[in-house]
Amino acid sequence: MPRLADVEADVQGLVETYMQTLLGVRFLASEYSTGPVHGGRIDSLGLDENGSPVIVEYKRGVDAGVINQGLFYLAWLMDHRAEFEHLVRDRLGVTAASQVLWSGPRLVCIAGDFTRYDLHAVREHRRSIDLVRYRFFGSDLLGLETVASVSSGMQTTRRARRQAVTRAAPGVQATSMAELANAVDEVLLGLGDGVNRVDRKQYWAYQRLRNFACLCPPQRSKVLVYLKVDPKKADLVPGFTRDVTGLGHHGTGDLEVQLRTERDVERAQELFRASYAAV
């Protein structure tokens, strides 16, 4: 039977221990003090797969103040970027600190449940906010369910997103590759509710709570997509899919999909859906 935690700290401790697996976020600090003037203490600080700063706030049950509390801390974070980057440098190294993506800081609220007023509130804010419902099952299982996910870029229209992909590859001579990237963008955004796109110079990440696909700027003859699909369980086809486990590449995911035609996009849709379902 599903149940709530006995105390809030039970949820926080478990999520912090397995934060990268559960949220796709590298753990930085717990109960981080915002100083005597601000007078707050952030439950958890982290850095997600795309380099975005992440604040995680926990509540055992339903708490109407969790979103406002998180936004309060998010405002503090934006005013203390150097302090956060220093923390990242200490915990994750100089490279990670130099790649922090300040255009997309995130707030993740994990609670027993949320009200309809919470769902309305997140859609009114111009920040990236994820509302996540948790449940314990027995003594050894934890379930996380995304109730709402809003990106700070949600105001961008689908047409503007398509244009952004085309503009991002000025050196590509074959316009068909840019058009192909637009088609992939449409497919990935349309896989389900709550899909957000995070734009980085080297790739575009498509995420629910975690990344499930990364689309690289189109090359002269192909478009590359990286998926969170286990290559060992995929039917690898030379020239179409490749295992890149341990190989350096932009974005996240160990399965590389090479797209050259619209038919390739159709062939890849089953893999796209599998990656979406995996996160």
**130, 150, 170 — which closes off a domain?**
150
- The reply to whether 8 and 130 lie within a common domain is yes
- The reply to whether 72 and 205 lie within a common domain is no
Residue 175: its pLDDT value, please?
55
- The reply to whether 94 and 223 lie within a common domain is no
| Contact status, residue 251 vs residue 203, Cβ threshold 8 Å | yes
Instruction: Give the C-alpha separation, 11 to 59, whole Å.
Output: 8
- The reply to whether 129 and 227 lie within a common domain is no
Residue 156: its pLDDT value, please?
38
Long-range contacts of range 188-196, CB-CB < 8 Å, 24 or more positions apart? 188/213, 188/215, 188/272, 189/158, 189/161, 191/272, 191/273, 191/276, 192/276, 194/146, 194/148, 194/149, 195/276, 196/128, 196/149, 196/150, 196/151, 196/153, 196/154
Give the chain's domain count: 2
Rg (CA), the chain: 19
- The reply to whether 145 and 197 lie within a common domain is no
Residue 37: its pLDDT value, please?
84
Q: Provide block-wise average pLDDT over 10 residues at a time, the chain (279 residues).
A: 95 96 96 91 97 97 92 96 98 96 95 94 88 94 92 48 46 69 95 88 93 95 96 95 94 96 96 94
- The reply to whether 117 and 166 lie within a common domain is no
- The reply to whether 135 and 213 lie within a common domain is no
- The reply to whether 186 and 108 lie within a common domain is no
**104, 134, 150 — which closes off a domain?**
150
At 104-162, the pLDDT tens digits run 899 999 999 999 999 998 888 888 999 999 999 998 899 999 999 888 754 333 434 44
Residue 153: its pLDDT value, please?
53
Scanning 125-192, the segments in alpha helix (DSSP H) are 158-167, 175-189
- The reply to whether 178 and 218 lie within a common domain is yes
Residue 173: its pLDDT value, please?
41
Instruction: Give the C-alpha separation, 197 to 181, whole Å.
Output: 14
**99, 131, 150 — which closes off a domain?**
150
Residue 144: its pLDDT value, please?
94
What is the domain-level CATH number for residue 9? 3.40.1350.10
Spatial CA neighbour of 47 closest among 29, 34, 33: 29
H or E, element range at 86: helix 81-92
- pTM for the model stands at 0.84
> How many separate helices (H) and strands (E) can be counted in the chain?
10, 13
Residue 204: its pLDDT value, please?
95
- The reply to whether 41 and 81 lie within a common domain is yes
- The reply to whether 139 and 272 lie within a common domain is no
Domain that holds residue 222: 158-278
- The reply to whether 146 and 175 lie within a common domain is no
